[in-house]
Structure 1
Amino acid sequence: MSQNILITGAAGYIGGSVLAAFISQETGALCTATLHAAVRSDEQVQALSKLGINIVKVDLDDEGAVRDVVLNNKIDIVVHTATSILPRPAAHLITALGERRKATGGHAYYIHTGIATMYSVEGGWKDGEVRDTDAIYEYDKEIEGMNPARQTSNVVVEQAAIHGVKSFNIVLPQIYGRGTGEWRKLSVNYPAFIRTSIEHKIVHKFDVDSNPPATHISDITTLYTLLTSACLQGTPISSGRSGYYFAVAHRAPQYLVMDLLARGLHERGLVSSPTARVWPSYDAAAKALGWPALYIKAMGTFSGELIPVNPGKVGWRPQWDEKRFLENIDEEIDAVKELDTVKSTLFANV
């Protein structure tokens, strides 16, 4: 029997690329599934209409509207990429899935999109290595001064347990590479650095040489594909409190990355110096990059020792490593020059 999948944030960088990956599948369980895409504007509906799937405009903060979308379209699986920091949309989606599950007597699945920054000292996490097979939910509950992304992750686990929905949390590091969706094709971090560097004619770096985890967008979409396929086939995989999946492929040494970007931008005549300089302050960095001042230090300097275990259990084998990333860093510059046409709304609610 065909199952119905709803992808939220389908006009975004992650959601659009995931949707494109699902559509491109020629074999396997996804070929028999019916895809539905949730977006926020009429313009986005029009942009995605060429895909030949059901595109719905919905306010995910509206519980009734979310319920109608899930129940009217008989959604069995939700892949939620629209936001990692707002608990209400996640709760609404899970509640509706629970109602759908009760009506059919079958299973319902919710795949969340989390943020790796939370699992670093800078993000309020404990020091040292953390595996996605550790008791993450229990540790998260003990942390005071909870940030929105952590709160949302906890809501996912709790609401899914209440409503009998199997939940999964794909925790994303810094992501790079050209998106394959129909609307937004650029990630957040590196395009922001490049865009700001061009505007100010100089590349800046933070006062800490961090070494954050990173993954190419194609490897990210592969993990979503594998996890969703496992749900479609009813494969028993870790979920709920054990359902964290660290989508970490390699490290991205920031001082080296910034120097490579400075060199590449200088060679193109876009900045005045081939070397990066330290930001005068975190406030200045937040203002220039358009990032929340409250989280700028964590976003700009976190490293974190995230060890992925669960992704390998579903067959995830990243194709991009640190060497390949650094050798192709100029592609990030070219992508911004060619594709920087849609303003990011990631921090609109922060």
Structure 2
Amino acid sequence: MENMNILVTGAAGYIGGSVVATLLSGDTHFAAKNIFAAVRAEEQVRSLQPLGIKVLQLDLRNEQEVAEAVLQNEIDIVINTASSIDGRLAAHFISALGKRREVTSKDTYHIHSSVTTGYSKEGGWPYGTIKDGDPVYKLEKELNDGFPIRKTNTAITELAKERGVTSFIVGVPFVYGTGSGEWKKLSQNIPATIKASIALKTVYKFNQDSKFAAVHISDLAEYYVLIVKKILQGEKLPSGEEGYYFAVAHETGWWDVAQGLADVLRARGLVTEPTVRVWPSDDMAAEALDLPRQFVRLMHTARVTIDYNNRYPLGWAPKWDEQKFLASMDVEVADAFRYEKGRTTLFDALNGTN
């Protein structure tokens, strides 16, 4: 397996931190000297340094700073978990990887984290079910509707082609579970619902249920690592316009999740209502959940139709399924108390922060 230097952005975040931890785990055989982590704050640098990797404090919006980091540290692969919306961050790394390729004649790689809500009817996707291998880039390009996630996907795919960088886009669904990173341990939806439910003494749901695509954080981190392993082994994976991958392990229903949380919170004496009630308004939901009003319903009702039944690409074998997830609500509640550290990370990541 060829040695390459790997940089993970958003390494103090929920997904990025878990990717770093998985790269360093005993069964992956990646050397710490080849792992680099990009973070935003000095305290995050200090948190990750004991791992033995090189931690870079970077302003990802600064193109020159990003270029210097990539070239000086001889970065070959960037796993970008820092933002799904702000295409500038990915563009800066792709441009830098293109310069490195020009200088060294070595192939360089960019793995971008997108989100699957861009492929829901509620998110304006008119084409229905999609899967790995479908012409997703072509469909996004034809749609050309300016939806931020899809706009970023097409823009960075085109830039990577122009700069000679091998690119992949990973569609990330609803992510749950406790992360293995050093900084942020939790995602957004479930901890926000737990916090709001305790404050209101009742668990609420939207009046529309939805089966949504989901994955446990440990399985998602392994998905990224599998792509890297394939690269290092010299396998020519579909990339660029054909390089869309969907890290979907299973589907689940939000009403089932809400009822599971209600059962656990009621048993702990943290809510008074034994059943889940419907949010009186989206405004109340947005305020209670501390989420943007324009996204709050989409996050809880979007039906993302990813065909994962021909499982799984890359030889991925996720360990978590719907049954195991729904049986883990007590752990979700316990860890929401154990690891809560300010605002959790989904919209931080979407907006380009850690």
Whether the 8 Å CA contact 1:238–1:310 is kept in 2: the answer is: no
1:245-265 deviation digits (Å, cap 9, x = unpaired)? 111111111111111101110
Alignment of 1:309-328 (within 5 A): 312-328=312-328
1:83-162 superposed matches below 5 A: 83-162=83-162
SS at 1:79 equivalent: strand
How big is the shift at 1:296?
A: 2.2
* Alpha-carbon separation, structure 2, partners of 1:105 and 1:8: 24
**Residue matched to 2:231:** 231
C-alpha displacement of 1:287: 1.9
Q: What is the CA distance between 1:25 and its match in structure 2?
A: 3.8
Q: Secondary structure at the match of 2:306?
A: strand
Please give the secondary structure, in 1, of the residue aligned with 2:229: helix
State the secondary structure of the residue aligned to 1:75: coil
TM-score of the superposition, structure 2-length normalised? 0.94
1:60 matched to which residue of 2? 60
Q: Which residue of 1 aligns with 2:193?
A: 193
Name the stretch that deviates more: 96-105 or 277-286: 277-286
Q: Go from structure 1 to structure 2 and tell me whether the alpha carbon gap of 1:310 and 1:15 turns closer, same or farther (over 3 Å shift).
A: farther
Contact 2:18 2:221 in 1 (8 A): yes
Deviation at 1:342, TM superposition (A): 3.6
RMSD: 1.7
Q: Percent identity?
A: 46
**Equivalent residue, structure 2, for 1:24:** 25
- The residue identity in structure 1 corresponding to 2:103 is A
* Aligned residue pair count: 349
Q: Does 1:171 align with 2:137?
A: no
Contact 1:22 1:225 in 2 (8 A): yes
Aligned residues of 1:5 and 1:33 also touching (Cα < 8 A)? no
Name the residue aligned to 1:6.
Answer: 7
User: Which residue of structure 2 lines up, in the alignment, with residue 306 of structure 1?
Assistant: 306
TM-score for both structures, normalised by structure 1: 0.95
Distance, in Å, in 1 between the alignment partners of 2:28 and 2:293 is: 45
- Structure 2 counterpart of 1:284, one-letter code: M
CA distance in structure 2 between the aligned counterparts of 1:294 and 1:328, rounded to whole angstroms: 29
* Larger RCO (alpha carbons 8 Å, 6+ apart): 2
Provide the residue aligned with 2:276 in structure 1.
276
* Maintained 8 Å contact 2:187/2:345: no
Conserved? CA contact 2:37–2:55, under 8 Å: yes
Gaps spanning 5+ residues in structure 2: where?
none
Return the alpha-carbon distance in structure 1 between the equivalents of residues 317 and 103 of structure 2. 37
CA distance in 2, matches of 1:276, 1:27: 42
Q: Note if contact 1:246-1:311 (Cα within 8 Å) is conserved in structure 2.
A: no
Deviation string 1:182-212 (CA, Å, 9 cap, x unpaired) is 0000011111111111122211101101110
- The verdict on how the C-alpha distance between 1:266 and 1:323 changes in structure 2, with shifts beyond 3 A counting, is same
Q: Which amino acid aligns with 1:326?
A: L
